[in-house]
Amino acid sequence: MVKVGPYSGRLVIPRFAIALWCLALLPAQLWGAGILVNEYYNGSGLVSPGTKMVADEYIEFVIVQESTAASLASLSFGDSNEATSQLQAVFHFDQATLQQALDNAHLSAFLPGTMIVVKGTDLGPQSIAYDPLNGNWDIQLVAGQGALGSTGTKINGAISVGNKGDTVWVSSSLPARNSDTSGFISAIGHTSTPGLIANTVASVFGAANILPTTIPTGTAVANMGDTTVALAATTSPTMGTSNGGQNSLWIDGLRSVGLAPAPEPSRSMLIFGSSAAFIFWRQRKGGLHA
């Protein structure tokens, strides 16, 4: 990467080398997409045929950096068993559905502050009328339609939030086995008796990412904070909208950055700045891998 210029004799460091060095500082998980688990709801229903998800439950994600349909579709997400000892369901977003939402909005990527809901069949039809430039920031995918079970893994369960415990996660890679958390980029959960997965989430992302309690049906676990997670159990779920308090202030802030009419170089700097803040937060949490 470093060479001596043939004519001047000065030490020349090619610009691409500097760029590569900067990019090498970015964790691999940040390349594809930036997305965090923001809330999940514990219902009492059954799994509808063909959906692999309890019909009255949902998971809510928030996008924290611009993400294309392809990058989001390359991720895996799911839950754990009630004992939080192993992964239970493994899902992925359907790329064509995400692309349709982007086409509806005339955008090439989902903007920071966008919310993606994956829900059971009892919670209304799928909604991909995405239009953040006019205030419509959420899309809602029905399990079995815009969000699909990943059959390429040996883990083939249904998303079913447990009363005793659960963890909901996003991974940059398809888990190789039901204990594989190596690709996790975000996870939250609840349990008073943590198993392997909950313990790993607490050690990688911070103890605050596991709410130390059981929850009854009809209860959501919601992040009331920002990238510094502050979980609360609530009987007032907010499917597809921010969770109030600091969570809403943070997401409003993400949206204002995403909509800022900045020229391209400034916009890149903003994105780099949010990435750097995200990395700092991840490093403060104690690392990326289990």
By CB under 5 A, name the binding residues for Ca ion.
Answer: 39, 42, 60, 161, 238, 243
CA angle 140, 29, 258 (to 5 degrees): 55
Residue 4 CB, shortest distance to Ca ion, in Å, is 57
- For the chain, the first-to-last Cα distance in angstroms comes to 32
- The residue whose Cβ lies closest to Ca ion is 238
Nearer to Ca ion, 165 or 258 (CB): 165
Nearer to Ca ion, 97 or 238 (CB): 238
Residue 47 CB, shortest distance to Ca ion, in Å, is 10
Residue 181 CB, shortest distance to Ca ion, in Å, is 22
CA-based nearest residue to 115, from 184, 73, 64 = 64
| DSSP letter, residue 137 | -
Q: Count Cα neighbours of 252 within 13 Å in the Cβ-side half-sphere.
A: 7
Residue 89 CB, shortest distance to Ca ion, in Å, is 12
Q: How far apart are CA 150 and CA 283, in angstroms?
A: 30
3-state secondary structure of 6: coil
Nearer to Ca ion, 181 or 243 (CB): 243
Nearer to Ca ion, 138 or 180 (CB): 138
Residue 122 CB, shortest distance to Ca ion, in Å, is 12
Nearer to Ca ion, 191 or 243 (CB): 243
Contact 163, 184 (CB under 8 A): no
How many other β-carbons are positioned within 10 Å of the β-carbon of residue 148?
A: 18
Q: What is the dihedral of CA 209, 211, 216, 219, to 10 degrees?
A: -50
Which amino acid does the sequence have at 64?
V
Tell me the backbone φ, ψ of residue 191, rounded to 5 degrees. Answer: 175, 145
Nearer to Ca ion, 60 or 226 (CB): 60
> Which residues are paired to 231 by β-bridges?
223
Residue 108 CB, shortest distance to Ca ion, in Å, is 26
In what order do the strands lie in the sheet containing 219-223?
Answer: 138-142, 115-119, 58-65, 34-42, 219-223, 231-234
Nearer to Ca ion, 116 or 185 (CB): 116
Residue 57 CB, shortest distance to Ca ion, in Å, is 6
